[in-house]
């Protein structure tokens, strides 16, 4: 199953992370009805819904939001599928954190040194932002250690490649 992820920007679920995928498609004349599974990771609700799609199309994030906000779905109790959807969200979160680390490496290294020397970071630091991204995949309470690990690893790789 191909899994897509997205961050909702629409009320009432703005800021919620979703993962979804198509289980099967049922061809009914000119229409195709897709059975779609999704996970709202923010609310920890997994569901199964149907979406009408056209030939060659896939369900969209908009389709998932409509099904979720209108409660036009049944709860999904297949833990294997739920684990697969959660895995996709975790992988996507790790990728975002790594991208931020690579893109802001110089600033993050400087902030890490300040943190180690002074034991505190400015409220608006990039390091706080990186740690907030790490909450999506780190053990509770370990987001700063995970952020530090990412920064140190990327700094070492940068030094090796220099």
> Do 161 and 42 contact (CB within 8 A), yes or no?
no
Question: Which pLDDT value is given to residue 85?
Answer: 96
Contacts of 94 (CB under 8 A, 6+ apart): 137
At 27, give phi and psi (nearest 5°).
Answer: -85, 120
Hey, how many other C-beta atoms are within 10 angstroms of the C-beta on 33? 14
The Cα 93–Cα 72 span in angstroms is 27
- Is the pLDDT at 128 greater than 80? The verdict is yes
pLDDT for the residue numbered 30: 77
| 61 DSSP assignment | H
Cα–chain center distance at 120: 28
**14-18: long-range contacts (C-beta < 8 A, 24 or more apart)?**
15/42, 16/40, 16/41, 16/42, 16/43, 17/41, 17/42, 17/89, 17/93, 17/136, 18/61, 18/64, 18/65, 18/68
pTM, two decimals, is 0.81
| Percentage with pLDDT > 90 across the chain | 85
Q: Residue 57: what pLDDT?
A: 81
In terms of C-beta density within 10 A (0-12 exposed, 13-18 middle, 19 or more buried), how is residue 36 classed?
A: buried
Average pLDDT in the chain: 93
């Amino acid at each position: 199953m191909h899994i897509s992820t997205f961050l909702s920007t629409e009320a009432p679920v703005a800021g919620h992370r979703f993962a979804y995928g198509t289980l099967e498609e049922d061809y009914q004349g000119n229409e195709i009805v897709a059975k779609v599974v999704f996970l709202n990771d923010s609310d920890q609700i997994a569901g199964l819904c149907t979406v009408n799609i056209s030939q060659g199309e896939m369900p969209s994030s908009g389709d998932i939001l409509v099904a979720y906000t209108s409660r036009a779905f049944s709860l999904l109790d297949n833990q294997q599928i739920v684990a697969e959807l959660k895995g996709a969200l975790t992988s996507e979160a790790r990728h975002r954190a790594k991208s931020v680390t690579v893109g802001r490496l110089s600033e993050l290294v400087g902030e890490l040194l300040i943190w180690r020397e002074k034991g505190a970071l400015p409220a608006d630091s990039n390091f706080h932002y990186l740690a907030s991204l790490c909450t999506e995949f780190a053990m509770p309470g370990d987001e700063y250690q995970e952020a530090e690990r990412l920064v140190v690893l990327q700094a070492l790789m940068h030094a090796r490649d220099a």
